[in-house]
Amino acid sequence: MAKYPYYIPSSGVYKPWIKVHLGYKKSHKITSIPIVALIDSGADVCFCSEDIGIWLGISLNKRSQYTFTTANKTKFTAIKETITLYVCNQQYQCPFYFSGTLPLETPIILGQLGFFDHFKIIFNLQYREFEVV
């Protein structure tokens, strides 16, 4: 069980952000510095910025694209690839959907399939912390 503080970005809204590393077996690359990821219980799957995918060496062209709809009904496309997620002192293979439309302040979104199905998350905004069990 690990507790993490909520962060307050420029918007002034508390966010459950956690630092992660990503790796790609085919290129043998792992991010050397941690990247901030948003824990999003409303996301069906895990998303990642296309720029990070390119850095990892993932070939994102000529692949099947998946279409997603955001909470405000905006549609976007993403390409699926399984990568290694390093989070909470664990590492495992996780399917991610890479897109060029993610906000700059949240280049990684951890969703239901790929994150919540591996951990129990307890949000405690009153005390400005969350637990990952």
Task: Reply yes or no on domain 2-132 having CATH 1.50.10.10.
Answer: no
Residue 31 CA to residue 13 CA, distance in Å, equals: 27
Phi, psi (5° rounding) for residue 52?
A: -65, -40
> In DSSP terms, which residues pair with 113 in a beta bridge?
45
Residue-wise pLDDT tens digits, 55-96: 999 999 878 999 999 989 999 999 999 999 999 999 999 999
pTM of the model: 0.95
pLDDT digits (tens, 9 = 90+) for 97-110: 999 999 998 999 99
Could you tell me the two tokens for 59?
Answer: 């070939």
Residue 53: strand, helix, or coil: helix
